[in-house]
Amino acid sequence: MNCYKFRDSISLYIDKELSIKDINRFNHHLETCSSCRVLFQGTLNVVSSMKKIPAVTVSADFGKRLQKRITREQAREKTRRRRMVPVQRLGLQPRYAFASVTALVAILVISVSIFTGDNDDVPVIGNTPALSTTSEVVPQEEPESHIPVSSLVAGSQEDSSMINMPPIHPQIQSQVRQVSGN
């Protein structure tokens, strides 16, 4: 053990936290190095002096002061609970209050905008025919499908390009042909 390692191990030696092997090395260095011996003795004195320090106790009125603080805290808690009771009677929890109010405001705004506003400017949610301004419901034409059904099964190179799909792998093509019987 060198002096550096010895210095690091002093407290562990005093507190019996070293392994037996390290204790032997420590003892050997302690016998051979006089400066480390002085350092060790000094640390030992510090530890024993600290253990001799008389214990401090709390002052006589400590318990009374603590009791007063607790009583105050209990009174505060009681007031807080009393304030919460009317809200709780309604089945409401304060933590949900903000969310509830926000939802209510949102519903109101949407309702007002739907029933009173100029619907030309306001987009109708979901394009519901019943809320449309025209009395006659015009059936929407089905958009023409540009994708031939055949391309989804065994489409040619040309068909695949129409829907911007990569060409189907030849192995998959053959599997699909087997399934479809073509």
Partner 1 sequence: MTESSFPSSTKLSKEMADKIYSDEELISRFQEGDEYSYVELVNRYQDRLINFTYRFFGDREDAEDVVQDTLMKLYTHKHYYRNIAKFSTWIYTIASNLSKTELRKRKRRPHKLISQMGLEGQNWDVPDEDKTNEEIEIQFNETQIQRAMLTLPLHFRTAVILRDIQELSYEEISNILNVPLGTVKSRINRARLQLQEELKHVNETRRT
- Chain residues that interact with partner 1, rule: CB under 8 A: 7-12, 15, 17, 39, 42-43, 45-47, 49-59, 62-63, 65-71, 73-74
Give the Cβ contact number of residue 91 at 10 Å. Answer: 7
Q: In the bound complex, what is the minimum distance in angstroms from residue 66's beta carbon to partner 1? A: 6
CA gap 74, 42 in Å, rounded: 51
Q: In the bound complex, what is the minimum distance in angstroms from residue 70's beta carbon to partner 1? A: 6
Q: Residue 30: exposed, middle, or buried by beta-carbon count in 10 A (0-12, 13-18, 19+)?
A: middle
Nearer to partner 1, 13 or 155 (CB): 13
CA gap 158, 97 in Å, rounded: 60
Nearer to partner 1, 56 or 130 (CB): 56
Q: How far apart are the first and last CA of the chain?
A: 86
Q: In the bound complex, what is the minimum distance in angstroms from residue 96's beta carbon to partner 1? A: 22
Nearer to partner 1, 56 or 149 (CB): 56
Give which of 147, 148, 146, 152 is closest to 176, Cα–Cα: 152
Nearer to partner 1, 53 or 99 (CB): 53
CB 26 within 8 A of CB 13: yes
Q: In the bound complex, what is the minimum distance in angstroms from residue 86's beta carbon to partner 1? A: 23
